[in-house]
Amino acid sequence: MNLRHTSFLMSLLIFASATFAANPPKVAASDIAASLLSIKIDGMQDLPISGLKMVKTGVQTVFISSNGRFAFYGGKLMDVWTQQEIKDLPDIDKIANRIDLSRMKLNVDDLGPVAVGQGKESVLVFIDPRCPYCGKVMKDLQALQDKYTFKLVMVPILGTESQNIVVQLACQLSSADAKTKESVRERLLKQDYTRLPIEQPTQCNKEPLQKAIVTAKLFGLQGVPFLIAPDGRTHSGAPEVLADWLANKPNAVSAATAPEPTKVEKKP
C-alpha cells in the first residue's frame, strides 16, 4: 500500500481532529443519548471485516482489517486488494463482498489447480479431497464444462488423512507425465484415493501447494468448498444448483436447503 498519495488528506484529517480535541463542544449526556435514539438510518450493511489493526507510519495512522484487505485512511475506506474506494452501501456488494482475482493480479495456475472443463469463464474452487459437499460440486460441474473452466485447488483442512492425500496428489501434479496428471483429475472427481502411497514423496515441488494454503488463509476460508465465480462473487458451501448460482440467478442459493461448508478441523 502506498500512503504517500494520501499524505495531504491525512494531514487535513489529523489537523481537524486536533482542532476538535482542543475545543471539544460541551454537550449534555442526555442530549447525546437523545440524538442517537432519533437518528434516521437510511441503510446498513455488514462489512466482511473480522477485526482492525492500527498501523502507525510516522505521524500517520492507518486502520487495516486483520486480513489486510480493507484500510481506512484519509477519510476513505479502501479495498487494498483491488485499489478501489468503498463509498456507498452498494459498493459493499459490488466490491467488498467479491474477490476480483484479475485486479489482485493473482495467477491461479501458481496454486497448482486441477483444471476441469474448457469454457471461456473461469471458476476457482477450493476443495478438500475428502469433503462430501466438495463431491457434490465436482459432480455438478461436470455438466457445465463447455461454458466454464473449473480450477480445483486442494487445501487439506480435514486432518492428517487429508494432508497425506493432498501432498500425494500435489506431487503427482508436478509430474511431466500427462497420464499421471489425468489420473489425479479422475481421483478428485470420483473421490477415489485407494492405493495412494502413505510414505512422503522424496522428490516433490510443494511450492504450489504452499501458495494454495497461504491464499486460502488470505481469503479467510472457514470451510470448503469455497467458490469464486467469474464475476468475483464468493460462496462457502455447495450451491443447491451450481449452474443457477454461477449465472447469478435470484434466490439461486437457498439458506434453508444449501449444504453448509465442511468446516476446518480443529486440532485438539
pLDDT at res. 38: 54
Instruction: Please give the backbone phi and psi of residue 115, each rounded to the nearest 5 degrees, phi first.
Output: -90, 135
CA distance 140 to 246: 12
pLDDT at res. 199: 83
CA distance 61 to 2: 13
Residue 100 pLDDT exceeds 80? yes
Q: Which tens digit of pLDDT belongs to each residue from 139-176?
A: 999 999 999 999 999 999 999 999 999 999 999 998 88
Pair 258, 239: CB distance under 8 Å = yes
Residue 30 pLDDT exceeds 50? no
Q: Place 80 in a pLDDT band, splitting at 50, 70 and 90.
A: confident
pLDDT at res. 237: 94
- How does strand 114-116 pair with strand 148-154? antiparallel
Pair 157, 264: CB distance under 8 Å = yes
Of 98-102, 145-149, 192-196, 198-202, highest mean pLDDT: 145-149
Q: Using N-to-C axis directions, what is the helix angle for 160-173 and 178-190, rounded to 10°?
A: 150
- Mean pLDDT value of segment 238-257: 80
Per-chain mean pLDDT for the chain: 80
Q: Using N-to-C axis directions, what is the helix angle for 160-173 and 207-218, rounded to 10°?
A: 130
- Mean pLDDT value of segment 34-51: 59
Q: How many CB atoms lie within 10 A of CB 266?
A: 6
Pair 99, 234: CB distance under 8 Å = yes
pLDDT at res. 174: 87
pLDDT at res. 23: 44
pLDDT at res. 241: 96
Choose the weakest-confidence range: 46-60, 170-184, 234-248: 46-60
Q: Place 87 in a pLDDT band, splitting at 50, 70 and 90.
A: very high
Give the residues across from 151 on adjacent strands: 115, 124
